[in-house]
Structure 1
Amino acid sequence: MVRNPERRTALVDAAIEVLARDGARGLTFRAVDEAAGVPKGTASNYFANRDDLLAQVTGQIHQRIAPDPDEVAAVMAAPPSRELVVDLMSWINRRVTANRTGYLAMLELRLEATRRPELRTELTRTLRATLDDDIRFHLDSGLPGDRTAVQLLHLAMTGLMLEQLTLPGVVPTEQTEGLIAALVERAIGPDPEGAP
């Protein structure tokens, strides 16, 4: 059977919605068919099994939550500084809020990976490559802070995202900007004497 690539993409996008809404246990072919608005049995024609569907979701979700290169260029128009790092972390935080479904689905994938070794291997590879790209971007852009600082920022921002997506009352929204600024200062250190 010839398969329609647009329909496959629509099914994977529907799977991301189901994953975010119902969790990994709710991710069934029937639920994906319903979310995509296609006839019953469609998803099973496109994916060999649930592991295949999860692998496709893993690949697609990064494209869905990746920033637009023009947005990155706009944020990076300012000269490298600690203030720019704060702006970048705040921008990332706003992106998580704006794409809540994509990030919730990613959290569900992480949890499911604890039970599925193949998914764990693929997700680890993908997220490790993303972290390496982020470190390289930070260092190549001349932003203050070394590799360890970038890793600390990544880990702390991941924790903040987890709180905001799952239990938003733990860290009230009005506190996040100040916490992000304090996080950056502590991770990369204060500006040198006489810096603007």
Structure 2
Amino acid sequence: MVHIPEENYAQTVTDDTRPPVPYTGSERDLLIAFLDHHRQTFELKCRGLDQAQMSTMAVPPSGLSLHGLLRHLAGTEQWWFSTQFLGSDEPMIYYSDDDPDQDFEHLDGPVEEAWAAWHEQVARSREIVAAASLDDEGTVLRHDLPVSLRRIMIHMIVEYARHNGHADLLRERIDGATGM
């Protein structure tokens, strides 16, 4: 068993303000609750870190960092909810066909800008979900296939869950904090 320094454990527990995920509710309510829980988990894992800590990379050869994950998740919110579901043709915030890995590789901007972009995209995604039925469809652009809002929400829950696992390891490497 890994020993967690008591000061890190206590800090982690007292900083956790996430509401519990409900055990019952409508399909819509549960999907929203789980997606918001994972969004809040990611934010919690990054809380209190400065620019240098957010940009600390994982163990090579991985180039992952919390800053890169933040930018990636902001772009993923935009891609799935605005671009694929609504059909928006706005330029992607951290992606281009010429430089598809810029979300992870070009961390020269302030982390505060990345947080602002993520918060903006999450707010926009919540607006989209609130105004639509789970059965409403967008288009998976790469395959020109229909995709339901339900499927997008499930995909986003999985996306955040996977990246929260990465964030766990990155945060532990930075300051030893675990268990968020």
Query: Shared fold by TM > 0.5?
Result: no
With normalisation by structure 1, the TM-score equals: 0.28
TM-score under structure 2 length normalisation: 0.29
Question: Could you say which structure has the greater relative contact order, defined with CA pairs below 8 angstroms and 6 or more residues apart?
Answer: 2
Flag the structure with higher strand content.
2
Q: Give the number of the structure whose residues are more often helix, by fraction.
A: 1
